[in-house]
Chain A
């Protein structure tokens, strides 16, 4: 009596040498050049051409792109849903204002200190989050954001008063954070903000392309697989919280020095939910998605305002946009726009060159098989 066998294997496996370099994904040098040129034009020309209103709106959009970047890191890279990012932004703004009032240190130093304090706050939020995931984490962070909103309504942003909170109720106006000397005007400050946020994107890019990014990708897909790969899941989750919070904190500091200063009603709890929606629409896996998200929450409402349309309409539009993203374009605008442009250019090319262009279309317009 025995267990029946299949045919006895004899052939040795062919072990084909895995040649080739561990090359990075192919890049389009022309595309990068166009992008760089575009950024340069915005950097130099925009403050010259635009009115004060649009310069200030653009500044906010760039700052909110950094906020979206932080949420994109947490959600897109590690799979942690936070609905408290706007509260963290407010916390960063408050901290920067208070530090500025207390120390009167150079602007970058104030930002660095704010980043450190925000990172610490992020780790404190991250500790309970280690045991939570998905909906539960979203709920806990949302409640935390609500608590911050309530607290802010009472303590307000520092405006030169005394005591720990630095708020003087008699002096009711807001006092923005002192700007760096080289960026006194709104236009110069826009350039400064673009440079600072570009640095934040660079730091994030280096993280994602490097050792932490690989660890996060593993954690996002499967914590057991990450652990089995030698990854300290606790450490890397806290690291993600610290980095995302530091980025958001710096964004708060930048916002504190923008025109008009900060007020408590600028950071309602529900804005964190809207932020999650626009990050989904923009594309949470991509850095371009964060930029798209920043523009969606700041530029689009400003445009509507010009036409006398209430920006509340956007809540409906964003709701539909999220549905569209989840159903049809999981990579968001950042993933879909290049595909659509390639498809369009392929179609235009085909129209011009006839059947000869079809081969080119097939090569460049193809979608990655999943």
Chain B
């Protein structure tokens, strides 16, 4: 469970997140909103890249704001990036093993854990394959495998389906739903693909211009008039 209280982020005169109060319970939770709503900024606060001006952040009772970014990763905070960051000079196996060895994973369990993570992410390439030779879908899956290897507690997925063709998105949604089942990690999904969000998330929160519009069961949230207005910029029939 992640509890956010009175979270405010300021970059100079801009306030990308304003007084956000929110609880993500468990399973897969969605976080949606139009471009510039503050979704990625929120992820950056969670992973320690952005220091909030005000507010509290507790994950499973732990005060996250006290920890630097790499310690949060060791604690179990994992993420993928909007523009994928699979490390090109390493193999698929090394990309995932790197996270395992730097987040306190035991050496004796490394091989098994890495292969489990690759399987969970649905990667069907040889582990020794160089990442530089992979296509964009497999690179994203390498990132997903990095996020789930070892003992993750919170997995943040930042637009994992961006640029993927439909059939890959369908596969990805099954992968995402398996993450909490297999690892027990609370998973937060940011994406613009509403079918993916409604397919994976029981609970979804909606941000617009740094403010939380609504939060609740996904199917209700997606039919909420305020949400539609935020996305379309009008209240008219779509």
Contact = CB atoms under 8 A, between A and B. Distances in A.
Interface of A: 1-25, 211, 214-215, 217-218, 220-222, 224-225, 227-233, 285, 368-370
Given A3-B222, A211-B101, 19 more contacts: A2-B228, A6-B193, A9-B170, A11-B174, A13-B171, A18-B127, A20-B126, A20-B128, A22-B127, A217-B98, A218-B87, A221-B85, A221-B87, A221-B89, A224-B47, A224-B49, A228-B69, A229-B73, A230-B104
Interface string B222-238: 11010110010000011
B101 A368 contact: no
Interface string B87-117: 1111101100111011110000001001100
B133 A21 contact: no
A14 B123 CA distance: 10
Interface in B183-216: 193-196, 198-199
Most A Cβ at <10 Å: residue of B70, B74, B88, B124? B70
Given A2-B223, A9-B170, A229 B146 contact: yes
Nearest to A220: B89
Contacts of A23: 128
A214 B238 contact: no
A58 B97 CA distance: 41
A22 B114 contact: yes
Contacts of A5: 194-195, 198
A135 B60 CA distance: 43
Interface of B: 47-49, 69-70, 73-74, 78-79, 81, 85, 87-91, 93-94, 97-99, 101-104, 111, 114-115, 118-120, 122-128, 130, 132-133, 146, 166, 169-175, 193-196, 198-199, 222-223, 225, 227-228, 231, 237-238
Nearest to A216: B89
A229 B143 CA distance: 10
B231 A3 contact: yes
Nearest to B115: A18
Nearest to A1: B228
A22 B195 contact: no
Given A9-B169, A221-B88, A225-B81, A16 B128 contact: no
A6 B130 CA distance: 34
Contacts, number: 154
Contacts of A217: 87, 89-90, 94, 98
Contacts of B172: 13
Contacts of A211: 101-102
A20 B228 CA distance: 48
A1 to B, nearest CB: 6
A8 B98 CA distance: 36
Nearest to A209: B94
Contacts of A227: 47-49, 69-70, 73
B81 A224 contact: yes
Contact of A214 (B49, B78, B101, B198): B101
B195 A214 contact: no
Nearest to B132: A370
A13 B238 contact: no
A210 to B, nearest CB: 9
A8 B90 contact: no
A217 B97 CA distance: 13
A3 B70 contact: no
A25 B133 CA distance: 14
Contacts of B73: 227-231
A186 to B, nearest CB: 40
Given A22-B97, A22-B128, A368-B130, A215 B195 contact: no
A18 B101 contact: no
Contacts of A12: 174
A337 to B, nearest CB: 20
Contacts of B193: 6
A214 B90 contact: yes
A289 to B, nearest CB: 15
A17 B193 CA distance: 27
A16 B79 CA distance: 23
A11 B199 CA distance: 12
A9 B199 contact: yes
A25 to B, nearest CB: 8
Contact of A13 (B91, B99, B132, B175): B175
A136 B119 CA distance: 43
Contact of A230 (B74, B88, B115, B196): B74
B188 to A, nearest CB: 14
A230 B102 contact: yes
